[in-house]
Amino acid sequence: MSWIGQGADRAGKIAWMVALALLVIAPFVGVYPIFISQALCFAIFAMAFNLLLGYTGLLSFGHAAFFGGAAYVTAWLLQEKHFTPELALLGGVAVAGLTGLVFGAIAIRRQGIYFAMVTLALAYMLSFFFLEASFTGGENGIQGIERGKLFGLFSLEGDLAMYFFVLAIFVAVFLFVLRVVHSPYGQVLKAIRENEPRAISLGYNVDRYKLLAFVLSASLAGLGGALKVLVLHLATLQDVRWEQSGEVILMTLLGGLGTFAGPVVGAFIVVGLQNFLSDRAGSWTGVIIGCIFVACVVAFRKGVVGELQAWHKRRQPKA
Amino acid sequence: MTEVFGIPIQALFGQLMLGLVNGSFYAMLSLGLAVIFGLLGVVNFAHGALYMLGAYVAWFSMDRWGVSYWWALLLGPLVVGAVGAVIERTLLKRLYKLDPLYGLLLTFGLALIIQGVFQQFYGSSGQDYSSPDALQGATNLGFMVLPNYRGWVILVSLVVCFGTWFLIERTQLGALLRAGTENPALVQAFGVNVPLMVTLTYAGGAALAGLAGVLAAPVIQVSPLMGSNLIIVVFAVVVIGGMGSIIGSIVTGLVLGLLEGLTRVFYPEASNVVVFFIMAIVLMVRPAGLFGKEK
């Protein structure tokens, strides 16, 4: 069952095709398209995050800055500047990437635990900016955003059209991340994760590799946030807050750190859980999420996909 | 009235004093973080939640049983320290062989839980807690008027911080602690109960946060979110100072509080973020932090 982890071999391809087929028919068999669209946006966010933590070994505690920052920019471009959706998305992604370049350049000066604290602090600083800035609507955020017409031609106002647009982008991001992870560049990232001093002594400019990984991850996280604006018609302060940064960590951890499918699985679980709990548990949701976090760290560190892989390995020890 | 750069000197000293009060809290919290990190290798994200817990112990015991501020000063750290000991014994203990990032993630989850439970009971609005009669009013120092309670906070925090420093750097117990930081296995071999020492250290760090919470209760509104924003500023303080040095974390905390106060005088819009700017500059110039040693 290595396909779950790697996604590149033949069995993997079949499994992913099945998953894709399920996603294509899902809205026609009664699954609420907005829900899966939202889950897919978070799946993109979590894949972006996993590129950094799972494959490069850098724990960013500030990824909400890119997710929420891009959301604000996209919302503003759509509502105030009347951009078409694809240009608004690009604008959001570009701003997220640039923010990632600045934050990354500062944060990669430290490793491990300090890297996490630095990214957290920088993202917190940015959330102050978004709270105070005039275009973000303060505590209320930007609401009632119209999705507009893709390329000025295809209306995205229908939830089904929106869903397939999100699905198409998700597949593109998926293939892109797959390509990155399996490229020589991705191999160097893994080498850095495993043993940074050795990567340095082999002559790799480690800081450059890390910075590029950070910018890539920030841009993709931004894409997830920007898409979410289209899906839900709003951008709020919640998207840039540190709780959001924590949530994407939880998705990745719960799904399986460093596995390819993990973040996607984790995103669906967390978004599904939140939807399920919001009616039933109300304001206890945060506490429950916290409990899952603690349980994951203490007893379930491999995550869903990681556990499946381990189980598979135990079943065929010689394979 | 005397002015400095067009600012009345009274206002300048007033803001500096406020900055020093904030700095006192930064110092106490970053000190606790540094002590815990030193021995446990855990960056305690729950520190802000424990600080909030301390403030609520003071408020709740006053509100419910009429416990005075002075007893709360004792009760707060004890309760929070006990909570800390339970957290260490039941949860953190399982993570010591792993990457330190897991400790950060675990305590992050704990912070979410503690904060969420308090929000459930008290909403997001604040509760008022008045300072004790003996510390109300203000003293005219000639160049400025010092509210007595704020002076008290600065005094207590200085005594506690340097007391902790003395305990760790100058006593037998502190020597054991430092040895445990360097090489726990060897210290254990000499017959010291290292697991107990670890538990007490975490409880001690938590108690410091609890004490800071009680001290803060009369100065700010007691609310479930009071710790969650503070902890991020304290993280920035810790990055600036480096977690390697006890005295470093105290000095950095106080100085950054003062700098924040100065910013509030000359450029108020930036006062919320000045610490983060300083952090970015320090990372560029001296990545290991002002007092840190790069491994």
Structural domain total, chain B: 1
> Judging by beta carbons within 10 Å of its beta carbon (0-12, 13-18, 19+), is residue A122 exposed, middle or buried?
buried
Bigger pLDDT: B39 vs A43: A43
Task: Indicate whether A313 pLDDT > 50.
Answer: yes
For residue A252, list chain B residues with Cβ-Cβ distance below 8 A: none
Q: Is residue B47 part of a domain?
A: yes
Question: Which residue does chain B place closest to A248, by CA atoms?
Answer: B105
Average pLDDT over residues B164-168: 92
pLDDT at residue A2, as a whole number: 40
Cβ atoms of B135 and B214 closer than 8 Å: no
Q: What is the mean pLDDT of chain A?
A: 88
Structure tokens at A122: 């920088």
Helices (H), chain A: 2-6, 10-25, 33-56, 64-79, 85-107, 112-132, 159-182, 184-194, 196-201, 206-232, 242-255, 262-280, 285-299, 303-315
Collapsed DSSP state (helix, strand, coil) of residue B285: helix
Q: Is residue B41 part of a domain?
A: yes
Cβ atoms of B3 and B132 closer than 8 Å: no
Q: Distance (Å, rounded) from C-alpha A37 to C-alpha A219?
A: 19
Cβ atoms of B248 and A104 closer than 8 Å: no
Domain that holds residue B31: 23-224
The phi and psi torsions of B222 (rounded to 5 degrees) equal -80, 110
Q: Distance (Å, rounded) from C-alpha B70 to C-alpha B218?
A: 12
pLDDT at residue A151, as a whole number: 77
Chain position carrying tokens 């106002």: A157
Q: Is residue B166 part of a domain?
A: yes
Q: Which residues contact B85 (CB under 8 A, 6 or more apart)?
A: B199, B200, B202, B203, B206
Sign of the CA dihedral with B164 first, then B165, B171, and B172 last: positive
Average pLDDT over residues B28-40: 91
Q: What is the mean pLDDT of chain B?
A: 89
Q: Determine, for residues B239 and A121 on separate chains, whether the beta-carbon distance falls below 8 Å.
A: yes
Most confident of A51-55, B77-81, B226-230: B77-81
pLDDT at residue B137, as a whole number: 82
Closest listed residue to residue A36, CA positions, set A25, A48, A51: A25
Question: Which residue does chain B place closest to A243, by CA atoms?
Answer: B112
Q: Determine, for residues A283 and B238 on separate chains, whether the beta-carbon distance falls below 8 Å.
A: no
Q: Distance (Å, rounded) from C-alpha A226 to C-alpha A9?
A: 32
Average pLDDT over residues A272-290: 85
Task: Indicate whether B110 pLDDT > 90.
Answer: yes
Average pLDDT over residues B37-52: 92
Q: Is residue B43 part of a domain?
A: yes
Chain position carrying tokens 């998926």: A174
Q: Is residue B127 part of a domain?
A: yes
User: Which of B44, B115, B232 should we substitute to test contact with A (largest number of A Cβ atoms within 10 Å)?
Assistant: B232
Chain position carrying tokens 């919640």: A238
Cβ atoms of B177 and B198 closer than 8 Å: no
Number of inter-chain CB pairs under 8 A, A vs B: 108
Q: C-alpha angle A175/A234/A214, rounded to 5°? A: 40
Q: Is residue B290 part of a domain?
A: no
The tally of CA atoms less than 13 A away on the side-chain side of residue B142 is 0
Residue B267 pLDDT class (50, 70, 90 cuts): confident
Q: Distance (Å, rounded) from C-alpha A7 to C-alpha A124?
A: 35
For A154-200, write each residue's pLDDT tens digit: 777 788 888 999 999 999 999 999 999 999 999 999 999 999 999 99
User: Which of A58, A102, A109, A289 should we substitute to test contact with B (largest number of B Cβ atoms within 10 Å)?
Assistant: A109
Q: Distance (Å, rounded) from C-alpha B295 to C-alpha B282?
A: 17
For residue B120, list chain A residues with Cβ-Cβ distance below 8 A: 283-284, 287
Please tell me whether the interface predicted TM-score (ipTM) of this complex is above 0.90.
no
For B248-263, write each residue's pLDDT tens digit: 899 999 999 999 999 9
pLDDT at residue A317, as a whole number: 63
Task: Indicate whether A64 pLDDT > 90.
Answer: yes
pLDDT at residue B33, as a whole number: 92
Q: Is residue B62 part of a domain?
A: yes
Average pLDDT over residues B202-231: 92
Q: C-alpha angle B220/B222/B223, rounded to 5°? A: 120
Residue B1 pLDDT class (50, 70, 90 cuts): low
Q: Is residue B124 part of a domain?
A: yes
